[in-house]
Structure 1
Amino acid sequence: MAATPRTVTIVGAPLDLGQGRRGVDMGPSAIRYAGMEERLASFGCTVVDRGNVLAPEPEALAVGDERARFLPEILDACAGLAAIVEEIASSGAMPLVLGGDHSIALGTLAGLRAAAGQPGGVIWIDAHGDLNTPASSPTGNVHGMPLAAALGRAGDGFSHPGLTLPAVDPGRVVLLGVRSLDPAERELIREAGIRVITMTEIDRIGIERAITEAIDRVSGPGFVHVSLDLDALDPEVAPGVGTPVKGGLTYREAHLACEDIAESGVVGSLELVEVNPILDRENGSAAIAVELAASALGQSIL
Protein backbone atom coordinates (compact mmCIF):
# COMPACT_ATOMS: atom_id res chain seq x y z
CA MET A 1 0.00 0.00 0.00
CA ALA A 2 1.44 3.35 -1.02
CA ALA A 3 1.81 6.06 1.60
CA THR A 4 -1.03 8.04 -0.02
CA PRO A 5 -3.64 5.52 -1.17
CA ARG A 6 -5.68 6.28 -4.24
CA THR A 7 -8.95 5.66 -2.43
CA VAL A 8 -9.71 5.87 1.29
CA THR A 9 -13.10 4.50 2.27
CA ILE A 10 -14.51 5.73 5.57
CA VAL A 11 -16.95 3.68 7.63
CA GLY A 12 -18.28 4.74 11.01
CA ALA A 13 -18.98 2.34 13.86
CA PRO A 14 -20.96 4.36 16.48
CA LEU A 15 -20.87 1.62 19.11
CA ASP A 16 -20.77 2.44 22.82
CA LEU A 17 -21.88 -0.89 24.30
CA GLY A 18 -18.31 -1.94 25.11
CA GLN A 19 -17.77 0.57 27.91
CA GLY A 20 -19.68 2.39 30.61
CA ARG A 21 -19.67 6.09 29.63
CA ARG A 22 -22.13 7.47 27.11
CA GLY A 23 -21.02 9.70 24.29
CA VAL A 24 -18.44 7.66 22.39
CA ASP A 25 -21.17 6.64 19.94
CA MET A 26 -20.96 10.23 18.67
CA GLY A 27 -17.26 9.82 17.88
CA PRO A 28 -17.67 9.12 14.14
CA SER A 29 -19.85 12.19 13.71
CA ALA A 30 -17.41 14.34 15.70
CA ILE A 31 -14.46 13.19 13.58
CA ARG A 32 -16.35 13.80 10.35
CA TYR A 33 -17.43 17.23 11.61
CA ALA A 34 -13.77 18.05 12.33
CA GLY A 35 -13.13 17.80 8.59
CA MET A 36 -11.80 14.31 7.89
CA GLU A 37 -12.94 14.08 4.27
CA GLU A 38 -11.75 17.56 3.36
CA ARG A 39 -8.38 17.04 5.04
CA LEU A 40 -7.66 13.79 3.20
CA ALA A 41 -8.81 15.17 -0.13
CA SER A 42 -6.50 18.18 0.32
CA PHE A 43 -3.39 16.06 -0.31
CA GLY A 44 -4.68 13.79 -3.05
CA CYS A 45 -6.79 11.05 -1.48
CA THR A 46 -10.02 10.06 -3.16
CA VAL A 47 -12.43 9.74 -0.24
CA VAL A 48 -15.56 7.60 -0.17
CA ASP A 49 -17.80 7.63 2.91
CA ARG A 50 -19.89 4.50 3.45
CA GLY A 51 -21.77 5.98 6.38
CA ASN A 52 -22.24 4.07 9.64
CA VAL A 53 -22.84 0.45 10.51
CA LEU A 54 -25.93 -0.28 12.55
CA ALA A 55 -25.23 -0.13 16.30
CA PRO A 56 -27.92 -0.58 18.97
CA GLU A 57 -28.24 1.69 21.98
CA PRO A 58 -27.89 0.33 25.53
CA GLU A 59 -31.22 1.76 26.73
CA ALA A 60 -33.05 -0.72 24.51
CA LEU A 61 -31.07 -3.77 25.67
CA ALA A 62 -30.61 -6.04 28.65
CA VAL A 63 -27.05 -6.18 29.98
CA GLY A 64 -26.89 -9.98 29.85
CA ASP A 65 -23.71 -11.54 31.23
CA GLU A 66 -22.06 -9.07 33.62
CA ARG A 67 -18.66 -10.59 32.77
CA ALA A 68 -19.05 -9.41 29.13
CA ARG A 69 -21.78 -6.82 29.01
CA PHE A 70 -23.86 -6.64 25.79
CA LEU A 71 -21.55 -9.17 24.13
CA PRO A 72 -24.13 -10.68 21.68
CA GLU A 73 -25.09 -7.23 20.41
CA ILE A 74 -21.46 -6.16 20.14
CA LEU A 75 -20.61 -9.25 18.11
CA ASP A 76 -23.53 -8.62 15.76
CA ALA A 77 -22.37 -5.03 15.21
CA CYS A 78 -18.78 -6.19 14.69
CA ALA A 79 -19.95 -8.76 12.14
CA GLY A 80 -21.71 -6.01 10.21
CA LEU A 81 -18.53 -3.94 10.28
CA ALA A 82 -16.41 -6.94 9.27
CA ALA A 83 -18.50 -7.48 6.13
CA ILE A 84 -18.01 -3.86 5.04
CA VAL A 85 -14.29 -3.84 5.84
CA GLU A 86 -13.83 -7.09 3.91
CA GLU A 87 -15.57 -5.54 0.91
CA ILE A 88 -13.48 -2.35 1.09
CA ALA A 89 -10.17 -4.17 1.48
CA SER A 90 -10.99 -6.63 -1.31
CA SER A 91 -11.70 -3.71 -3.65
CA GLY A 92 -8.17 -2.35 -3.17
CA ALA A 93 -9.23 0.72 -1.18
CA MET A 94 -7.94 1.56 2.29
CA PRO A 95 -10.49 1.07 5.09
CA LEU A 96 -10.59 3.98 7.55
CA VAL A 97 -12.82 2.99 10.48
CA LEU A 98 -14.11 5.62 12.91
CA GLY A 99 -15.27 4.57 16.39
CA GLY A 100 -17.04 4.13 18.64
CA ASP A 101 -15.42 2.27 21.52
CA HIS A 102 -12.47 -0.04 20.92
CA SER A 103 -14.59 -3.20 20.81
CA ILE A 104 -15.23 -2.34 17.13
CA ALA A 105 -11.64 -3.37 16.35
CA LEU A 106 -12.74 -6.98 16.50
CA GLY A 107 -14.94 -6.33 13.48
CA THR A 108 -12.23 -4.42 11.62
CA LEU A 109 -9.64 -7.14 12.17
CA ALA A 110 -12.04 -9.96 11.30
CA GLY A 111 -12.94 -8.19 8.06
CA LEU A 112 -9.29 -7.71 7.14
CA ARG A 113 -8.61 -11.37 7.95
CA ALA A 114 -11.46 -12.48 5.69
CA ALA A 115 -10.26 -10.29 2.82
CA ALA A 116 -6.63 -11.40 3.15
CA GLY A 117 -7.37 -15.09 3.62
CA GLN A 118 -4.87 -15.30 6.50
CA PRO A 119 -4.05 -13.58 9.79
CA GLY A 120 -2.12 -10.32 9.72
CA GLY A 121 -0.33 -7.88 11.97
CA VAL A 122 -1.47 -4.90 14.01
CA ILE A 123 0.10 -1.93 15.76
CA TRP A 124 -2.22 -1.29 18.72
CA ILE A 125 -1.57 2.29 19.86
CA ASP A 126 -3.31 2.54 23.22
CA ALA A 127 -2.84 3.32 26.90
CA HIS A 128 -4.34 -0.11 27.65
CA GLY A 129 -3.72 -3.67 26.51
CA ASP A 130 -7.34 -4.64 25.67
CA LEU A 131 -6.27 -8.22 26.35
CA ASN A 132 -8.75 -9.15 29.04
CA THR A 133 -11.28 -11.96 28.76
CA PRO A 134 -14.72 -12.35 30.35
CA ALA A 135 -13.05 -14.44 33.04
CA SER A 136 -10.33 -11.89 33.82
CA SER A 137 -11.94 -8.51 33.19
CA PRO A 138 -12.38 -6.38 36.33
CA THR A 139 -15.26 -4.45 34.72
CA GLY A 140 -17.00 -6.71 32.21
CA ASN A 141 -16.55 -3.99 29.59
CA VAL A 142 -15.89 -5.57 26.20
CA HIS A 143 -13.77 -2.64 24.97
CA GLY A 144 -11.06 -4.12 27.19
CA MET A 145 -11.20 -7.47 25.34
CA PRO A 146 -11.06 -7.00 21.53
CA LEU A 147 -7.38 -7.76 21.02
CA ALA A 148 -7.64 -10.95 23.07
CA ALA A 149 -10.68 -11.90 20.99
CA ALA A 150 -8.89 -11.12 17.72
CA LEU A 151 -6.10 -13.45 18.85
CA GLY A 152 -8.64 -16.18 19.53
CA ARG A 153 -7.87 -16.01 23.25
CA ALA A 154 -11.09 -14.60 24.72
CA GLY A 155 -13.09 -17.82 24.83
CA ASP A 156 -15.93 -19.48 22.93
CA GLY A 157 -18.33 -16.66 23.82
CA PHE A 158 -16.75 -14.57 21.07
CA SER A 159 -17.54 -17.08 18.33
CA HIS A 160 -19.83 -15.62 15.66
CA PRO A 161 -20.58 -16.81 12.11
CA GLY A 162 -19.81 -13.32 10.78
CA LEU A 163 -16.36 -13.08 12.38
CA THR A 164 -13.31 -14.92 11.01
CA LEU A 165 -11.10 -15.59 14.03
CA PRO A 166 -8.31 -15.66 15.00
CA ALA A 167 -7.57 -12.59 12.91
CA VAL A 168 -4.03 -11.69 13.95
CA ASP A 169 -0.73 -13.47 14.52
CA PRO A 170 0.52 -12.89 18.09
CA GLY A 171 4.07 -12.65 16.79
CA ARG A 172 2.97 -9.68 14.67
CA VAL A 173 1.20 -7.68 17.39
CA VAL A 174 2.79 -4.61 18.96
CA LEU A 175 1.21 -2.62 21.77
CA LEU A 176 2.55 0.93 21.68
CA GLY A 177 2.18 3.61 24.35
CA VAL A 178 0.85 1.23 27.00
CA ARG A 179 0.84 2.39 30.62
CA SER A 180 -2.05 0.47 32.21
CA LEU A 181 -2.24 -3.34 32.24
CA ASP A 182 -4.22 -5.79 34.37
CA PRO A 183 -2.50 -8.91 35.83
CA ALA A 184 -4.17 -11.34 33.41
CA GLU A 185 -3.13 -9.16 30.48
CA ARG A 186 0.50 -9.32 31.57
CA GLU A 187 0.25 -13.10 31.74
CA LEU A 188 -1.24 -13.35 28.25
CA ILE A 189 1.45 -11.03 26.87
CA ARG A 190 4.18 -13.27 28.24
CA GLU A 191 2.48 -16.47 27.12
CA ALA A 192 1.74 -15.28 23.56
CA GLY A 193 5.03 -13.44 23.05
CA ILE A 194 3.38 -10.11 22.24
CA ARG A 195 5.72 -7.13 21.96
CA VAL A 196 4.77 -4.30 24.29
CA ILE A 197 6.46 -0.90 24.00
CA THR A 198 5.43 0.95 27.14
CA MET A 199 5.59 4.68 27.68
CA THR A 200 8.57 4.06 29.94
CA GLU A 201 10.41 2.40 27.07
CA ILE A 202 9.42 5.19 24.69
CA ASP A 203 10.87 7.69 27.18
CA ARG A 204 14.13 5.73 27.09
CA ILE A 205 14.52 4.92 23.39
CA GLY A 206 12.42 7.62 21.72
CA ILE A 207 9.32 7.35 19.57
CA GLU A 208 11.29 7.05 16.30
CA ARG A 209 13.05 3.86 17.36
CA ALA A 210 9.88 2.51 18.96
CA ILE A 211 7.70 2.92 15.87
CA THR A 212 10.43 1.62 13.57
CA GLU A 213 10.64 -1.57 15.62
CA ALA A 214 6.85 -1.85 15.66
CA ILE A 215 6.62 -1.56 11.87
CA ASP A 216 9.37 -4.14 11.37
CA ARG A 217 7.65 -6.59 13.70
CA VAL A 218 4.14 -6.37 12.25
CA SER A 219 5.18 -6.39 8.58
CA GLY A 220 4.42 -9.53 6.63
CA PRO A 221 1.75 -11.38 4.65
CA GLY A 222 -1.99 -10.97 5.01
CA PHE A 223 -2.49 -7.42 6.21
CA VAL A 224 -0.97 -4.72 8.42
CA HIS A 225 -3.41 -2.61 10.42
CA VAL A 226 -3.06 0.33 12.82
CA SER A 227 -5.62 0.69 15.60
CA LEU A 228 -5.30 4.05 17.31
CA ASP A 229 -7.12 4.71 20.56
CA LEU A 230 -7.03 8.44 21.31
CA ASP A 231 -6.33 7.68 24.97
CA ALA A 232 -2.81 6.74 23.87
CA LEU A 233 -2.18 10.48 23.86
CA ASP A 234 -1.76 12.33 27.11
CA PRO A 235 -5.10 13.64 28.46
CA GLU A 236 -3.70 17.17 28.32
CA VAL A 237 -3.47 16.72 24.54
CA ALA A 238 -6.63 14.67 23.90
CA PRO A 239 -9.07 15.02 26.82
CA GLY A 240 -12.14 13.71 24.98
CA VAL A 241 -11.73 10.01 25.86
CA GLY A 242 -13.53 7.77 28.31
CA THR A 243 -10.55 6.15 30.07
CA PRO A 244 -7.75 8.75 30.24
CA VAL A 245 -4.38 7.80 31.73
CA LYS A 246 -1.75 10.41 32.53
CA GLY A 247 1.69 10.22 30.99
CA GLY A 248 0.76 9.48 27.38
CA LEU A 249 2.15 10.40 23.99
CA THR A 250 2.74 14.05 23.25
CA TYR A 251 1.20 15.73 20.22
CA ARG A 252 4.48 15.55 18.30
CA GLU A 253 5.27 11.96 19.34
CA ALA A 254 1.88 10.84 18.02
CA HIS A 255 2.39 12.72 14.75
CA LEU A 256 5.89 11.35 14.25
CA ALA A 257 4.61 7.82 14.81
CA CYS A 258 1.91 8.37 12.18
CA GLU A 259 4.35 10.03 9.76
CA ASP A 260 6.70 7.03 10.07
CA ILE A 261 3.75 4.69 9.48
CA ALA A 262 2.99 6.52 6.23
CA GLU A 263 6.62 6.47 5.12
CA SER A 264 6.87 2.72 5.72
CA GLY A 265 4.28 2.03 3.01
CA VAL A 266 3.23 -1.25 4.64
CA VAL A 267 0.04 -0.24 6.45
CA GLY A 268 -3.18 -0.99 4.59
CA SER A 269 -5.87 0.09 7.05
CA LEU A 270 -6.44 2.44 9.96
CA GLU A 271 -8.99 2.97 12.69
CA LEU A 272 -9.49 5.79 15.19
CA VAL A 273 -11.50 4.99 18.32
CA GLU A 274 -12.72 6.21 21.70
CA VAL A 275 -13.31 9.88 20.79
CA ASN A 276 -16.04 11.07 23.17
CA PRO A 277 -17.25 14.59 22.30
CA ILE A 278 -19.20 14.88 25.57
CA LEU A 279 -15.89 14.77 27.44
CA ASP A 280 -13.99 16.86 24.89
CA ARG A 281 -13.11 20.54 24.67
CA GLU A 282 -14.45 22.25 21.52
CA ASN A 283 -14.12 19.00 19.54
CA GLY A 284 -10.35 19.22 19.93
CA SER A 285 -9.75 15.50 20.31
CA ALA A 286 -11.71 14.78 17.13
CA ALA A 287 -9.64 17.42 15.35
CA ILE A 288 -6.47 15.68 16.53
CA ALA A 289 -7.85 12.38 15.23
CA VAL A 290 -8.22 14.01 11.80
CA GLU A 291 -4.67 15.38 11.95
CA LEU A 292 -3.20 12.01 12.94
CA ALA A 293 -5.11 10.23 10.18
CA ALA A 294 -3.74 12.71 7.66
CA SER A 295 -0.19 12.08 8.89
CA ALA A 296 -0.68 8.30 8.77
CA LEU A 297 -2.04 8.52 5.22
CA GLY A 298 0.82 10.54 3.83
CA GLN A 299 0.30 14.26 4.38
CA SER A 300 3.66 15.98 4.81
CA ILE A 301 4.92 19.48 5.49
CA LEU A 302 6.91 19.72 2.23
Structure 2
Amino acid sequence: MDDIGRLDLNLLLLLDALQEDMNLSASARRLRISQPTASANLQKLREFFGDQLFVRTGRGMKPTPFAETIADPVRQSLDILRRDVVRKTRFEPNTSDRVIRITTSDVGVMIFIPPLLDALREAAPSMNVQVVPVPHDLLEKALEQNEVDVAIGYFPDLTGPNIMTQALFDHSFACLVSAHHPVINEGLSLEQFLAADHIVINEQGRSQELFERRLHELGLSRRVRLHLPHFMSVPQLVASSEMIATVPMSLGVWYQNAGIKVFPTPIESPLIQLRQFWHRRLSDDPMVTWLHRLLGSLLIGKDPALAFSEGYSSPADRTG
Protein backbone atom coordinates (compact mmCIF):
# COMPACT_ATOMS: atom_id res chain seq x y z
CA MET A 1 0.00 0.00 0.00
CA ASP A 2 3.07 2.28 -0.03
CA ASP A 3 3.24 2.65 -3.84
CA ILE A 4 0.80 5.54 -4.27
CA GLY A 5 1.67 5.69 -7.96
CA ARG A 6 -0.42 2.56 -8.52
CA LEU A 7 -3.53 4.32 -7.23
CA ASP A 8 -4.99 6.40 -10.04
CA LEU A 9 -8.02 8.68 -9.91
CA ASN A 10 -10.33 6.22 -11.68
CA LEU A 11 -9.79 3.69 -8.89
CA LEU A 12 -10.72 6.23 -6.23
CA LEU A 13 -13.82 7.23 -8.17
CA LEU A 14 -14.95 3.60 -8.22
CA LEU A 15 -14.23 3.20 -4.52
CA ASP A 16 -16.33 6.27 -3.73
CA ALA A 17 -19.17 5.18 -6.03
CA LEU A 18 -19.30 1.71 -4.47
CA GLN A 19 -19.60 3.25 -1.01
CA GLU A 20 -22.82 4.86 -2.16
CA ASP A 21 -24.26 2.29 -4.57
CA MET A 22 -23.17 -0.97 -2.92
CA ASN A 23 -23.60 -2.46 -6.39
CA LEU A 24 -20.83 -2.91 -8.94
CA SER A 25 -23.13 -2.68 -11.97
CA ALA A 26 -24.73 0.53 -10.72
CA SER A 27 -21.33 2.10 -10.05
CA ALA A 28 -20.11 1.08 -13.50
CA ARG A 29 -23.10 2.81 -15.10
CA ARG A 30 -22.57 5.92 -12.97
CA LEU A 31 -18.91 6.15 -14.03
CA ARG A 32 -19.73 5.24 -17.64
CA ILE A 33 -17.39 2.28 -17.71
CA SER A 34 -18.05 -1.36 -18.60
CA GLN A 35 -18.77 -3.99 -15.97
CA PRO A 36 -15.51 -5.88 -16.77
CA THR A 37 -13.53 -2.64 -16.32
CA ALA A 38 -15.25 -1.99 -13.01
CA SER A 39 -14.47 -5.54 -11.86
CA ALA A 40 -10.83 -5.16 -12.91
CA ASN A 41 -10.53 -1.83 -11.09
CA LEU A 42 -12.07 -3.28 -7.94
CA GLN A 43 -9.47 -6.04 -8.04
CA LYS A 44 -6.70 -3.43 -8.34
CA LEU A 45 -8.10 -1.65 -5.29
CA ARG A 46 -8.16 -4.88 -3.31
CA GLU A 47 -4.55 -5.63 -4.23
CA PHE A 48 -3.42 -2.10 -3.40
CA PHE A 49 -5.08 -1.96 0.02
CA GLY A 50 -4.65 -5.64 0.87
CA ASP A 51 -8.32 -5.83 1.82
CA GLN A 52 -11.49 -7.16 0.18
CA LEU A 53 -13.10 -3.72 0.65
CA PHE A 54 -16.56 -4.98 -0.37
CA VAL A 55 -18.06 -8.44 0.05
CA ARG A 56 -21.12 -9.79 -1.68
CA THR A 57 -24.32 -10.27 0.30
CA GLY A 58 -27.80 -11.35 -0.65
CA ARG A 59 -28.74 -7.72 -1.27
CA GLY A 60 -25.67 -6.41 -3.06
CA MET A 61 -22.34 -5.57 -1.46
CA LYS A 62 -21.24 -4.59 2.03
CA PRO A 63 -18.10 -2.61 2.92
CA THR A 64 -15.48 -4.16 5.13
CA PRO A 65 -14.50 -2.32 8.32
CA PHE A 66 -11.37 -1.05 6.54
CA ALA A 67 -13.45 0.27 3.61
CA GLU A 68 -15.64 2.14 6.08
CA THR A 69 -12.61 3.82 7.68
CA ILE A 70 -11.29 5.18 4.37
CA ALA A 71 -14.66 6.19 2.92
CA ASP A 72 -14.70 9.75 4.30
CA PRO A 73 -11.05 10.58 3.52
CA VAL A 74 -11.50 9.35 -0.06
CA ARG A 75 -14.68 11.39 -0.56
CA GLN A 76 -13.12 14.50 0.98
CA SER A 77 -10.10 14.17 -1.31
CA LEU A 78 -12.32 13.85 -4.37
CA ASP A 79 -14.39 16.83 -3.24
CA ILE A 80 -11.23 18.93 -2.97
CA LEU A 81 -10.23 17.92 -6.49
CA ARG A 82 -13.67 18.76 -7.84
CA ARG A 83 -13.91 22.07 -6.00
CA ASP A 84 -10.38 23.45 -6.19
CA VAL A 85 -8.89 21.80 -9.28
CA VAL A 86 -11.61 20.89 -11.74
CA ARG A 87 -13.49 24.14 -11.06
CA LYS A 88 -10.48 26.13 -12.21
CA THR A 89 -10.63 24.47 -15.63
CA ARG A 90 -14.37 24.97 -16.10
CA PHE A 91 -16.36 28.02 -15.09
CA GLU A 92 -20.13 28.25 -15.30
CA PRO A 93 -21.25 31.69 -14.09
CA ASN A 94 -24.91 30.74 -13.78
CA THR A 95 -24.08 28.17 -11.07
CA SER A 96 -20.88 29.60 -9.59
CA ASP A 97 -20.81 31.03 -6.06
CA ARG A 98 -17.31 32.48 -6.29
CA VAL A 99 -16.53 35.89 -4.83
CA ILE A 100 -15.25 38.59 -7.18
CA ARG A 101 -12.59 40.65 -5.41
CA ILE A 102 -12.16 44.14 -6.81
CA THR A 103 -10.09 47.09 -5.69
CA THR A 104 -11.12 50.56 -6.79
CA SER A 105 -11.60 54.05 -5.35
CA ASP A 106 -14.70 55.22 -3.51
CA VAL A 107 -15.79 56.94 -6.73
CA GLY A 108 -15.14 53.68 -8.54
CA VAL A 109 -17.49 51.89 -6.15
CA MET A 110 -20.31 54.24 -7.14
CA ILE A 111 -19.54 54.13 -10.84
CA PHE A 112 -18.39 50.58 -11.62
CA ILE A 113 -20.18 48.43 -9.07
CA PRO A 114 -23.87 49.18 -9.91
CA PRO A 115 -23.67 48.04 -13.56
CA LEU A 116 -21.56 45.04 -12.53
CA LEU A 117 -24.12 43.96 -9.94
CA ASP A 118 -26.92 44.36 -12.48
CA ALA A 119 -25.04 42.13 -14.91
CA LEU A 120 -24.30 39.53 -12.23
CA ARG A 121 -27.96 39.43 -11.22
CA GLU A 122 -28.75 38.08 -14.68
CA ALA A 123 -25.64 36.08 -15.59
CA ALA A 124 -24.30 34.87 -12.24
CA PRO A 125 -26.98 35.18 -9.53
CA SER A 126 -25.01 33.28 -6.87
CA MET A 127 -21.79 35.26 -7.25
CA ASN A 128 -21.07 38.30 -5.10
CA VAL A 129 -18.57 41.15 -5.06
CA GLN A 130 -16.07 42.10 -2.38
CA VAL A 131 -14.43 45.52 -2.69
CA VAL A 132 -10.97 45.20 -1.17
CA PRO A 133 -9.17 48.36 0.00
CA VAL A 134 -5.53 48.22 -1.10
CA PRO A 135 -2.97 51.07 -0.76
CA HIS A 136 -1.60 52.01 -4.16
CA ASP A 137 1.97 51.09 -3.24
CA LEU A 138 0.81 47.56 -2.37
CA LEU A 139 -1.52 47.04 -5.31
CA GLU A 140 0.88 45.12 -7.55
CA LYS A 141 1.73 42.81 -4.65
CA ALA A 142 -1.97 42.27 -3.90
CA LEU A 143 -2.59 41.24 -7.51
CA GLU A 144 0.47 38.99 -7.51
CA GLN A 145 -0.56 37.26 -4.28
CA ASN A 146 -4.13 36.72 -5.50
CA GLU A 147 -5.63 39.00 -2.86
CA VAL A 148 -7.71 40.72 -5.55
CA ASP A 149 -8.89 39.56 -8.97
CA VAL A 150 -8.95 42.92 -10.71
CA ALA A 151 -8.17 46.59 -10.09
CA ILE A 152 -10.27 49.21 -11.86
CA GLY A 153 -9.41 52.88 -12.05
CA TYR A 154 -6.56 55.29 -12.66
CA PHE A 155 -3.36 53.59 -11.53
CA PRO A 156 -0.50 55.11 -13.57
CA ASP A 157 2.18 53.40 -11.47
CA LEU A 158 0.80 49.90 -12.01
CA THR A 159 3.21 48.97 -14.81
CA GLY A 160 4.97 45.78 -13.67
CA PRO A 161 6.01 43.22 -16.33
CA ASN A 162 3.42 40.71 -15.10
CA ILE A 163 0.55 43.18 -14.92
CA MET A 164 -2.02 42.85 -17.70
CA THR A 165 -4.18 45.87 -18.48
CA GLN A 166 -7.02 46.97 -20.71
CA ALA A 167 -8.19 50.51 -21.40
CA LEU A 168 -11.85 51.10 -20.57
CA PHE A 169 -12.65 54.77 -21.23
CA ASP A 170 -11.42 58.33 -20.75
CA HIS A 171 -13.33 60.98 -18.89
CA SER A 172 -12.69 64.43 -17.53
CA PHE A 173 -13.36 66.69 -14.56
CA ALA A 174 -16.28 68.86 -13.53
CA CYS A 175 -16.84 71.53 -10.91
CA LEU A 176 -19.50 71.15 -8.23
CA VAL A 177 -21.17 74.30 -6.95
CA SER A 178 -24.11 74.76 -4.60
CA ALA A 179 -27.42 75.23 -6.39
CA HIS A 180 -27.96 78.18 -4.06
CA HIS A 181 -24.61 79.88 -4.65
CA PRO A 182 -25.11 83.67 -4.52
CA VAL A 183 -22.79 84.45 -7.44
CA ILE A 184 -22.28 81.37 -9.59
CA ASN A 185 -25.55 80.63 -11.35
CA GLU A 186 -25.61 80.06 -15.10
CA GLY A 187 -21.95 79.28 -15.65
CA LEU A 188 -18.53 79.19 -14.04
CA SER A 189 -15.89 81.61 -15.30
CA LEU A 190 -12.17 81.33 -14.65
CA GLU A 191 -12.35 84.49 -12.54
CA GLN A 192 -15.09 83.03 -10.36
CA PHE A 193 -13.17 79.76 -10.08
CA LEU A 194 -9.98 81.47 -8.89
CA ALA A 195 -11.83 83.80 -6.49
CA ALA A 196 -13.72 81.00 -4.72
CA ASP A 197 -12.73 78.78 -1.83
CA HIS A 198 -12.07 75.18 -2.82
CA ILE A 199 -12.37 71.68 -1.47
CA VAL A 200 -9.51 69.40 -2.49
CA ILE A 201 -9.72 65.66 -2.11
CA ASN A 202 -6.46 63.95 -1.17
CA GLU A 203 -7.68 60.38 -1.59
CA GLN A 204 -5.44 57.49 -2.55
CA GLY A 205 -6.36 57.79 -6.21
CA ARG A 206 -4.04 59.69 -8.51
CA SER A 207 -6.62 61.41 -10.71
CA GLN A 208 -6.58 64.65 -8.68
CA GLU A 209 -2.89 65.03 -9.49
CA LEU A 210 -3.79 65.48 -13.16
CA PHE A 211 -5.93 68.53 -12.49
CA GLU A 212 -3.39 70.05 -10.09
CA ARG A 213 -0.70 69.56 -12.73
CA ARG A 214 -2.83 71.31 -15.36
CA LEU A 215 -3.32 74.32 -13.08
CA HIS A 216 0.43 74.47 -12.45
CA GLU A 217 1.17 74.28 -16.19
CA LEU A 218 -1.10 77.29 -16.72
CA GLY A 219 0.49 79.22 -13.87
CA LEU A 220 -2.76 79.25 -11.91
CA SER A 221 -3.44 78.62 -8.24
CA ARG A 222 -6.64 78.36 -6.21
CA ARG A 223 -7.44 79.04 -2.60
CA VAL A 224 -7.92 75.71 -0.84
CA ARG A 225 -10.12 75.99 2.23
CA LEU A 226 -10.66 72.29 3.00
CA HIS A 227 -8.69 69.10 2.39
CA LEU A 228 -10.61 65.80 2.55
CA PRO A 229 -9.37 62.20 2.49
CA HIS A 230 -12.22 60.95 0.28
CA PHE A 231 -15.09 62.07 -1.93
CA MET A 232 -18.08 60.78 0.01
CA SER A 233 -18.78 63.94 2.03
CA VAL A 234 -18.12 66.36 -0.83
CA PRO A 235 -21.73 66.76 -2.08
CA GLN A 236 -23.11 67.69 1.32
CA LEU A 237 -20.29 70.17 1.97
CA VAL A 238 -20.66 71.80 -1.43
CA ALA A 239 -24.45 72.01 -1.22
CA SER A 240 -24.29 73.78 2.14
CA SER A 241 -21.47 76.23 1.37
CA GLU A 242 -20.02 78.51 -1.28
CA MET A 243 -16.99 76.27 -1.89
CA ILE A 244 -16.20 74.61 -5.21
CA ALA A 245 -15.06 71.02 -5.58
CA THR A 246 -13.39 69.79 -8.76
CA VAL A 247 -14.10 66.09 -9.15
CA PRO A 248 -14.17 63.37 -11.82
CA MET A 249 -17.08 63.98 -14.18
CA SER A 250 -18.79 60.75 -13.15
CA LEU A 251 -19.06 61.93 -9.57
CA GLY A 252 -20.49 65.23 -10.75
CA VAL A 253 -23.20 63.49 -12.76
CA TRP A 254 -23.96 61.18 -9.83
CA TYR A 255 -24.76 64.13 -7.55
CA GLN A 256 -26.06 66.69 -10.01
CA ASN A 257 -29.54 66.73 -8.44
CA ALA A 258 -28.45 66.76 -4.79
CA GLY A 259 -28.68 70.54 -4.32
CA ILE A 260 -25.69 70.92 -6.62
CA LYS A 261 -24.98 72.42 -10.01
CA VAL A 262 -22.37 70.81 -12.24
CA PHE A 263 -20.27 72.99 -14.53
CA PRO A 264 -17.44 72.26 -16.94
CA THR A 265 -14.06 73.27 -15.60
CA PRO A 266 -13.12 76.81 -16.72
CA ILE A 267 -9.82 75.47 -18.06
CA GLU A 268 -9.36 72.65 -20.56
CA SER A 269 -9.80 69.57 -18.43
CA PRO A 270 -7.21 66.78 -18.55
CA LEU A 271 -8.55 63.35 -19.42
CA ILE A 272 -8.40 60.48 -16.97
CA GLN A 273 -7.77 57.11 -18.61
CA LEU A 274 -9.45 54.42 -16.57
CA ARG A 275 -8.32 50.83 -17.02
CA GLN A 276 -8.74 47.38 -15.57
CA PHE A 277 -5.65 45.52 -14.32
CA TRP A 278 -4.95 41.91 -13.40
CA HIS A 279 -1.93 39.68 -12.87
CA ARG A 280 -0.62 37.53 -15.71
CA ARG A 281 -0.82 34.48 -13.45
CA LEU A 282 -4.63 34.75 -13.41
CA SER A 283 -4.94 34.78 -17.19
CA ASP A 284 -5.61 31.02 -17.14
CA ASP A 285 -8.37 31.28 -14.52
CA PRO A 286 -11.65 30.94 -16.46
CA MET A 287 -13.55 33.04 -13.92
CA VAL A 288 -11.10 35.92 -14.16
CA THR A 289 -11.13 35.73 -17.96
CA TRP A 290 -14.93 35.81 -17.90
CA LEU A 291 -14.85 38.77 -15.50
CA HIS A 292 -12.51 40.81 -17.71
CA ARG A 293 -14.74 40.20 -20.72
CA LEU A 294 -17.83 41.15 -18.73
CA LEU A 295 -16.24 44.37 -17.45
CA GLY A 296 -15.08 45.15 -20.96
CA SER A 297 -18.58 44.72 -22.37
CA LEU A 298 -19.97 46.99 -19.65
CA LEU A 299 -17.33 49.72 -19.68
CA ILE A 300 -15.14 49.88 -22.80
CA GLY A 301 -15.90 53.16 -24.54
CA LYS A 302 -18.83 53.84 -22.20
CA ASP A 303 -18.19 56.75 -19.87
CA PRO A 304 -20.31 56.01 -16.78
CA ALA A 305 -21.07 59.73 -16.61
CA LEU A 306 -23.67 58.92 -19.27
CA ALA A 307 -25.03 55.88 -17.42
CA PHE A 308 -27.97 57.71 -15.88
CA SER A 309 -29.51 58.25 -19.29
CA GLU A 310 -29.33 54.46 -19.71
CA GLY A 311 -31.28 53.53 -16.63
CA TYR A 312 -29.18 54.18 -13.53
CA SER A 313 -30.29 56.69 -10.95
CA SER A 314 -28.30 58.86 -8.59
CA PRO A 315 -28.93 58.78 -4.83
CA ALA A 316 -30.78 62.06 -5.12
CA ASP A 317 -33.24 60.48 -7.55
CA ARG A 318 -34.08 57.59 -5.21
CA THR A 319 -36.90 57.97 -2.75
CA GLY A 320 -38.51 55.79 -0.13
* TM-score of Structure 1 vs Structure 2, range by shorter chain: under 0.3
Which structure is higher in RCO with an 8 Å CA cutoff and minimum separation 6? 1
Larger Rg: 2
Q: Which has the higher helix share?
A: 2
TM-score after normalising by structure 1: 0.27
